[in-house]
Amino acid sequence: MAYNEDLGIVAARVMQLDKFDQREWNLAATLIRPEFACPFILKYLLAKPLKTEVVILMEYANAQSVEVIIKNQKYDLPRGAYRALAQQILEGVRVIHSAGLVHKTIKAESIMLHSTRGSIKVKISDFGLTKIDSKDRLELMSMETLFSMAPELLLGSFETTNKVDMWSVGVVLYQLATHEYPIVAEDLQGLKYKIRQKEIERPPQIRDDDLWDLLQQMLEQYPGRRISAEQALMHPYFTSIYAQKEVSVAAKKLAHSFAYQKGDSWIMRFDMDQTSIIPTSELLKFYTTHPEADEKVILLTQKGEQEQIDTQLQQYPDPETMRSSRFEPLQEDIDPNDNSNIKDYNKEKIVPFTLEQLRSTPDFLNGKIINQEQYITSKPIKPLTIHNPRIRVLQDTSYSPFPHFNLNQI
């Protein structure tokens, strides 16, 4: 982790140069363009190759990855939060595919989470970084990585297309619902054998028929029949009236608290769509501390405002208290396939801010509302010694932006 006066807190990653794919990194620069702007894709800022390593600065995600949810066998996601999480992941993948790119290494640990203003957003990471070599490299990969790979990558039976990402997303969504992989094996050969059986049984945890139908289409053996990200977002699981019914009160309140602003602004349509909002309060049961608390302390420390730290931390609820008092079932225990008592949902009319009104609001002037425009800073990056074990690498590094891309066009 590192800090900069312009960029704020950024994540610093050091990886072996022989595992860094320069060609994929160059292609990833496409996602910086305004037409591919997406809040659900982690932004990569700077990179510097060294003799044997490469140092990468990227957007900071303060709420870990979705593994924090999957590995917690004690708690399940509320149904509304699960649907919103799935929608955000698929929207990020849709944008990647619309840019003509393929991620190829989507798995639970590459789907980061970031909490801001009481709402969590997905941040798809690791795009354009790691080399995917020939079949002989499969034996060197961890079983967890192989469990998320599409059959055509494991078996080499079909041409690799963007449909490999859809299989991987299906695996992650299956994990989020069941805390298990859809297919497991002791070794690579056993995994290939099970893949060839072409059968994934419906687990008892997935009661929603629409969700199971969606997962089946994502975990389709043949890539030509596998659903695309765009098609998945139009699936009844996301578009039926039941999707509105399962939205929590917290998500509705967050949606109505955001002002909609057309054009370029800090607010996006996903902030206004209550079906795609994940309230941080609903995920606190998976954390030991509030995701936003540490970030606030770091910023105050960098500004020399130590006396304010204790006061600021009191603003964040204790996750242990939240687990005991607020995380009883958020929705009534009802059959998700019973639509008999659903009434039409009417959205309240929201008056949008003009850009001038937005800029004059106290929250904007106090820095609580930020413009998410990406840029490259001219000010130095200061490593955080308490968070980064490889300080010397960062201290001796100069950085360059994405190659082959004119940042002045942003």
The residue among 172 and 338 whose pLDDT is bigger is 172
Answer yes or no: are the C-beta atoms of 394 and 57 closer than 8 Å.
Answer: no
> Is residue 172 scored above 70 in pLDDT?
yes
> Is residue 6 scored above 60 in pLDDT?
yes
Tell me the mean pLDDT in the region 150-163: 86
pLDDT digit string (tens) for 347-356?
444 444 555 6
**What is the share, in percent, of the chain residues with pLDDT greater than 90?**
37
Compute the C-alpha angle 23/165/375, nearest 5°: 50
Tell me the mean pLDDT in the region 173-192: 94
Tell me the mean pLDDT in the region 291-317: 63
- Return the closest-CA partner of residue 283 out of 214, 221, 330, 315: 330
pLDDT at 264: 40
> Is residue 281 scored above 90 in pLDDT?
yes
pLDDT at 369: 46
> Is residue 311 scored above 70 in pLDDT?
no
Q: Which amino acid is at 231?
A: Q
> Is residue 65 scored above 80 in pLDDT?
yes
16 confidence band (pLDDT: 50, 70, 90): confident
Give the Å distances, CA to CA, from 232 to 51, 235, 236: 43, 5, 9
Tell me the mean pLDDT in the region 170-185: 96
pLDDT at 29: 75
**Mean pLDDT across the chain:** 76
For residues 409 and 128, give the distance between their C-alpha atoms in angstroms, rounded to a whole number. Answer: 22
pLDDT at 262: 45
> Is residue 118 scored above 70 in pLDDT?
yes
User: What's the per-residue H, E or C state across the chain?
Assistant: CEEECCCEEEEEEEEEHHHECHHHHHHHHHHHCHHHCCCCECCEEEEEECCCEEEEEEECCCCCECHHHHCCCCCCCCHHHHHHHHHHHHHHHHHHHHCCCCCCCCCHHHEEEEEECCEEEEEECCCCCECCCCHHHHHHCCHHHHHCCCHHHHHCCCCCCCHHHHHHHHHHHHHHHHCCCCCCCCCHHHHHHHHHHCCCCCCCCCCCHHHHHHHHHHCCCCHHHCCCHHHHHCCHHHHCHHHHHCCCHHHHHHHHHCCCCCCCCCCCHHHHCHHHCEEHHHCHHHCCCCHHHHHHHHHHHHCCCHHHHHHHHCCCCCHHHHHHHCCCCCCCCCCCCCCCCCCCCCCCCCCCCCHHHHHHCHHHHCCCCCCCCCCCCCCCCEECCCCCCCHHHHHCCCCECCCCCCHHHC
> Is residue 299 scored above 50 in pLDDT?
yes
For residues 234 and 395, give the distance between their C-alpha atoms in angstroms, rounded to a whole number. Answer: 48
pLDDT at 32: 78
Compute the C-alpha angle 166/169/170, nearest 5°: 85
Tell me the mean pLDDT in the region 32-40: 85
pLDDT at 341: 57
User: What region does 8 belong to: left with phi over 0, alpha with psi -120 to 50, or beta?
Assistant: left
The answer to which of 32-41, 210-219, 322-331, 362-371 has the lowest mean pLDDT is: 322-331
pLDDT at 371: 44
Tell me the mean pLDDT in the region 162-186: 96
- Return the closest-CA partner of residue 345 out of 214, 271, 239, 210: 239
129 confidence band (pLDDT: 50, 70, 90): low
174 confidence band (pLDDT: 50, 70, 90): very high
For residues 102 and 111, give the distance between their C-alpha atoms in angstroms, rounded to a whole number. Answer: 15
> Is residue 76 scored above 90 in pLDDT?
yes
The residue among 19 and 332 whose pLDDT is bigger is 19
> Is residue 82 scored above 70 in pLDDT?
yes
Tell me the mean pLDDT in the region 304-327: 56
Tell me the mean pLDDT in the region 3-30: 75
Domains of the chain with bracketed CATH: 2-244+372-409 (1.10.510.10)
- Is 110 exposed, middle or buried (CB count within 10 Å of its CB: 0-12, 13-18, 19+)? buried
> Is residue 376 scored above 50 in pLDDT?
no
Tell me the mean pLDDT in the region 69-80: 94
